[in-house]
A and B are shown apart, each in its own frame.
Chain A
């Protein structure tokens, strides 16, 4: 990233900063720093209102083409927006799955009708999304999904189970990878379907996580239905679409989250200053190292955005960097707190922010492709080493 903005970028930054500051120090001051991974239910309704306000002011889908309501923002402008959003204390986005994953996928693989139907709801914050990827038997081996869909007249009928679905209880829509071509070979037997959540064939069961809370859910499809035209990229092309989406997940859409790490790091620094750990020479080393690695998270993310399409493996490097950084930061915060780290916010098991991040960040190196899967990707796609055996 350039340390100095071009004139156009400087104007864009000023516009973003002015709007964000006015809103987050004004009518939306109550949502500053609220929500985010591990705190998805925090101030949820208020953050839905915020999402709609962002959409109305033209600050959602900023990278989309103008014809679909976007600003066609350049990469550097997207980075600037995320920086300003973090600086202003913008809350965790309730629409991030729609904006960051579904919209780019529909823009890349969807039909014109799908773009017209689904992009406005994402843009306006009126339709929230969740992700139907993992299954009990399809974690790292995602191609092994067992959920099936068959065409019955002009509708898909879906049976199966998804797991680790965040926001399932609040989302209106889910994108579901499922088997539609039972006789086709692996990787050519899947489809990417857009399924309404509020219908009789969909049942949601929260997963109680090691945090004691339930951001993640199981989703059961039992004769659930979706219109035949709700397949993105064509029946049997689900693997290609799913991999395209994962590239978005490991690309631009994580940038906002990573830049939010700056705020988390500042909290750790403040805690260390407040309790005297800041004068411990070893702790100073660790905090400085965390700052270094935080800069590298950002720098690697930008490299990935700029060169990721031509240099395979960079997205995986980026994922390992940010996920591992966040996990370390969770541990470091606990270390800074010392004995106090052990004491919860309230009985029976209400966690402090540091405790919650310490625990929740264990998921960062697992979801969206584990660190181990990312290492396979780097070794095989970037370094050209022999592939792992596949069924």
Chain B
């Protein structure tokens, strides 16, 4: 299901208003200094008053059943605010995985809790290698009676230290490649699970080390068919990178706005520096990137919602393009702010650091361009 253009516009206005009022640069700096990395009370309001986590959750499970395009719209606005929240990991990654691959029991147990904001969750896919293809999964599982036993070490897990539920990708002992990969729902308090938040260059989104030492989960913790979860993981990852691309596009948009605002106030040589063509043209180039980034992310989200077979190509396009566009715009924001762009006080560094982190998250531009090259038959 997708919302009408009017509904989307209303939705965007309300999201933007909430974030303008409740996620200022000072708020972000406060949240990013906490252990959790976001504000639980604000997240409670986002879930309770605004219903954001309910947006993509199917209606049968307490959600609104809207499309990835509406999720992208929210991500764009959150990106523009550099908002700290568990939305990407909980709603987009874990929520999609459960909605697309979960059993009825799993959906009934987890999705209403995600929609209501009571449960946070994440996808534990990557490991030390940082690879996001199937060969990057070295963690293993083995059947033991009515249980699976999981072992291994996950890294770069978004919100991994705080999430209430982890969807852990592991492979059957002795397999390699895409075959043999399974996905398990592992509660955050499972015995044998150890989690440690990593100090990150971008402080606005937490990553964690997650180690599994003989973690036993019941057979009912398996998502989808045993040994065949790679297709599900790929689909979830493509939804994740599309949403992330929209967030990057929103970040790029904000970098342009911050810059345009600043250069109209800053006076040198007796005139606003925004009147110099050397500055104006660089802002124009930023706008070309911003418009293109928004178009790429929205086209990928539309392709997902339409069931277009080109969705994986478009998702790769969105992540590759938006990663570079956001980083370029954040870098320009620092440069065009001049000296104050180098301070902690002004906003650009928040976006610059997040742009760097997001560019690497879930596959960088080179990785996704190579996917496209394969898709083009090269």
A and B assemble together = yes
Known: A300-B292, A376-B277. Contact between A385 and B260, CB under 8 A?
yes
Pairs A–B under 8 Å by Cβ, sample size 17? A1-B299, A3-B310, A272-B378, A284-B378, A288-B376, A291-B317, A292-B320, A295-B296, A296-B292, A296-B295, A296-B296, A299-B295, A314-B291, A374-B284, A375-B285, A384-B264, A385-B275
State which of A295, A317, A385 has its C-beta within 8 Å of the C-beta of B274.
A385
State which of B260, B271, B366, B370 has its C-beta within 8 Å of the C-beta of A384.
B260
Task: Annotate B324-368 by CB proximity to A: 1 below 8 A, 0 otherwise.
Answer: 000000000000000000000000000000000000000000100
A279–B277 Cα gap in the complex (Å)?
Answer: 42
Known: A278-B378, A284-B369. Contact between A296 and B287, CB under 8 A?
no
Cβ of B306 under 8 Å from chain A: yes
* A383/B272 in contact, CB under 8 A: no
- Specify which chain A residues have a CB less than 8 angstroms from the CB of B275 in the assembled complex: 385-386
* B321/A296 in contact, CB under 8 A: yes
B335 CB to nearest A CB, Å: 16
Which 5 A-B residue pairings sit nearest by Cβ, starting from the closest?
A379-B280, A375-B284, A386-B275, A288-B369, A378-B284
- Specify which chain A residues have a CB less than 8 angstroms from the CB of B285 in the assembled complex: 375
Give the residue name and chain of the B residue nearest to A266 (CB): B376
* B370/A285 in contact, CB under 8 A: yes
* B306/A288 in contact, CB under 8 A: no
Which residues of chain B (234-290) have a CB below 8 Å from chain A? Answer: 256, 260, 263-264, 271-272, 274-275, 277, 279-281, 283-285, 287-288
Task: Annotate A290-313 by CB proximity to B: 1 below 8 A, 0 otherwise.
Answer: 011001100110010000000001
Known: A3-B306, A321-B288, A385-B275. Contact between A285 and B373, CB under 8 A?
yes
Chain A interface residues toward B at CB < 8 A: 1-4, 269, 272-273, 278-279, 281, 284-285, 287-289, 291-292, 295-296, 299-300, 303, 313-314, 316-317, 320-321, 372, 374-376, 378-380, 382-386, 388
- Specify which chain A residues have a CB less than 8 angstroms from the CB of B314 in the assembled complex: 295
A374–B302 Cα gap in the complex (Å)?
Answer: 29
* B295/A379 in contact, CB under 8 A: no
A337–B69 Cα gap in the complex (Å)?
Answer: 40
- Specify which chain A residues have a CB less than 8 angstroms from the CB of B217 in the assembled complex: none
* B370/A288 in contact, CB under 8 A: yes
Cβ of B72 under 8 Å from chain A: no
B283 CB to nearest A CB, Å: 6
* B292/A287 in contact, CB under 8 A: no
Known: A295-B299, A320-B288, A375-B285. Contact between A284 and B321, CB under 8 A?
no
B77 CB to nearest A CB, Å: 18
Give the residue name and chain of the A residue nearest to B306 (CB): A3
* A299/B306 in contact, CB under 8 A: no
* B287/A313 in contact, CB under 8 A: yes
A328 CB to nearest B CB, Å: 14
* B283/A288 in contact, CB under 8 A: no
- Specify which chain B residues have a CB less than 8 angstroms from the CB of A296 in the assembled complex: 292, 295-296, 321
* A385/B373 in contact, CB under 8 A: no
A2–B299 Cα gap in the complex (Å)?
Answer: 8
* B377/A273 in contact, CB under 8 A: yes
* A287/B376 in contact, CB under 8 A: yes
State which of B256, B281, B295 has its C-beta within 8 Å of the C-beta of A300.
B295
* B373/A4 in contact, CB under 8 A: no
B314 CB to nearest A CB, Å: 8
* A385/B299 in contact, CB under 8 A: no
Cβ of B308 under 8 Å from chain A: yes
A272 CB to nearest B CB, Å: 7
Cβ of B139 under 8 Å from chain A: no
